[in-house]
Amino acid sequence: MKAFAGRVAVVTGAGSGLGRELAARFAREGMKLVLADVDEAALARIEGELKAAGAAAIAVRCDVASGADVEALAARALDAFGAVHVVCNNAGVAPLGVVWENSVADWQWTLGVNLWGVIHGVRVFTPILLRQQDEGHIVNTASVAGLIAPPGMGMYNVSKHAVVALTETLHHDLAARGVRVKCSVVCPAYFPSGIAESERARPATLREARAKTDEDLAREANMRKAVQSGRLSAADIAARVFEAVRDERFYVLTHPRILPAVEARMRDILEERNPGSPV
């Protein structure tokens, strides 16, 4: 995409972290914003900040795990602004644990937000973008955990690998149609955000009854430390995403230092070796 002013961006997970910074970055380009999150208080804050800075923005409470919610989000976007041009399927959660100890509720929550949220976003918004016969771009937030498989993060790894595969396939499907709609997948490593505190937004119906072990607590503490010690900020990642949309670049790999681990995994596969630890 080359033209942004006056166009419309939809951002899920807009209440904090990368979603918040994506909204701010697109607003600086003169875009109109549709902000989605389950945290209505955070949504109201970012909506107020963007409007105070002169942006046109609406906030929509949306649980991306619900297809009906995402359909309602699209309807609100079209009612408010008449079109959609950039869609950022960005909402995410990051529960941890070894895979045999994760409960059904853990899996349902993680895949509901991280994978089904992207599935719903692609399913609902791609037809809208295609009908417009205009430039459009879909941005799916995965993670470097969609390219490697660190221990203790099985559910997150599964969801993010699936997002990478979904987005690569979306790229091929769009290219086969010869349309003006493009897509990107974002694969950052750790950066300061609220992802380590995502349990705060977990639905009551999917709460984990099992008491956390010392190993669980230590794993969570290590993640919080890693997230907060990231050298790139959410704003830095958002800037890379904007450049990818502008330049129609598919892979958004923001942390070069992690790429040797990705290469090692690829070599393990091609040489049929047992997987080496990426950490």
Catalytic residue among 81, 125, 156, 242: 156
- Reported residue count of the chain is 279
Contacts with 133 (C-beta within 8 Å, 6 or more apart), sequence order: 180
Return the SS3 of 211.
Answer: coil
User: Does the annotation mark 190 as catalytic?
Assistant: no
- 188: tokens are 């950052």
CB atoms within 10 A of CB 263: 12
Question: Nearest CA to 115 among 59, 180, 166, 169?
Answer: 166
Measured between alpha carbons, how far is 46 from 57 in angstroms, rounded to an integer?
Answer: 9
The helix/strand count (H/E) of the chain reads as 9, 7
Identify the H or E element spanning 112.
Answer: helix 104-114
Cβ neighbors of 79 (< 8 A, separation 6 or more) are none
From CA 186, how far away is CA 143, in angstroms rounded? 6
Could you tell me if 37 and 91 are in contact, meaning their C-beta atoms sit under 8 angstroms apart? yes
Cα separation values, 263 from 5, 199, 279, Å: 38, 32, 13
The overall longest dimension of the chain from CA atoms, in Å, is 56
Catalytic residue IDs: 156
